[in-house]
Structure 1
């Protein structure tokens, strides 16, 4: 640290200063781990144990919403790592946007509990699906904003990804916006269909991103020929 930085520490961290994103990822991992653990706490043991099997079966909305949300949050964790694998520096804008993203993730256990309760009671299902779907959609919107901001003029992007890889990740993130919006709107008409469309999001988004895989294969191929 230079003499000027010691005398004026604020000058070393202007608004756009870049930071190692490792701490951003570590903090995000912690918040995601807590949120994903809280999901299971929303599955309450049945009060009536005289017909325990029937009471456990009646909790199927809690099991369903738990699995869907757990797997989606797992995707968030995986794609968050994919995104920050290619972000070499995090300025204060990235820190702020990532904090809002984590705030949305922390909200998901509540939205999941509301959805399970609505399906169990048979009332308010449309509102519950829209609440859950909107939380998912807003989460993906923040992914898109963070990635767009980091890729703008390649100011914060690492050199280990080319333009094709950036475009492949961007397409995957943008498609998620349309997919989740469709499931949310369908939930207004037919709540089970809305949940099914959102759940169908899970297997596709666990697939690897083609642009990145192709780049890795090309590198390996060149390495094997040398």
Structure 2
């Protein structure tokens, strides 16, 4: 049976939208309004966790569309892998909350950075699994992308595995450095991938995507 991926994308968009909305619920107003400015300033770990996690989830959303723009049919394996990916995305607000609390209280930062990084590393693994499965022998790919474009997307997705893993490992040693490396992932991965747009001629891509 040929199953169009439109419902997969719509369901994924809904889960991602809920996940980014839940992120802000972790940021609670200070109880002491007599020193409101100081109370708001001390919430900086929550602001940081919110911005970094929101932008990373935004990349997940953008790259999910890049991937499914070129998937012609979704079989049960794709549905299963995508469901596990969404389960991980729905977990990310909790990971962000753990990260913010650890930095706010000055305890457990290493564990929190590793925990947060592992959650995103799992998302990167699932992205690679879905894409490599669908592009194997081009069984499920549409004609909107050629082999060079498909390889460029694969390189971008694979690079995400190494990038996030590096940030996670560094976070186990120096939490602030780990967060910085993972945050540096944001501007680079918003860059377009050569050949991702239907109708354009793929060029050589030096990196990958997640």
SS of equivalent to 2:72: coil
- Equivalence for 2:4: 20
1:53-202 to 2 correspondence within 5 Å?
Answer: 53-202=37-186
Give the TM-score normalised by structure 1: 0.87
Structure 2 CA distance, aligned partners of 1:60 and 1:203? 21
Cα offset for 1:216?
Answer: 1.0
Give the TM-score normalised by structure 2: 0.94
The structure 2 residue matched to 1:42, chosen from 2, 20, 26, is 26
Structure 2 CA distance, aligned partners of 1:198 and 1:207? 16
Q: Unpaired runs of 5+ in structure 2?
A: 203-210
Cα offset for 1:217?
Answer: 5.1
Give the aligned length. Answer: 202
Structure 1 CA distance, aligned partners of 2:37 and 2:71? 50
Please say which structure displays the higher CA radius of gyration. Answer: 1
Q: Deviations over 1:99-126 (max 9, x none)?
A: 0000000000000000000000000000
SS of equivalent to 2:33: coil
Structure 1 CA distance, aligned partners of 2:88 and 2:196? 27
Indicate how the Cα distance of structure 1 residues 67 and 171 shifts in structure 2: closer, same or farther if over 3 A, else same. Answer: same
Q: Unpaired runs of 5+ in structure 1?
A: 1-16, 219-226
Structure 1 CA distance, aligned partners of 2:196 and 2:48? 32
Moved more, 207-216 or 115-124: 207-216
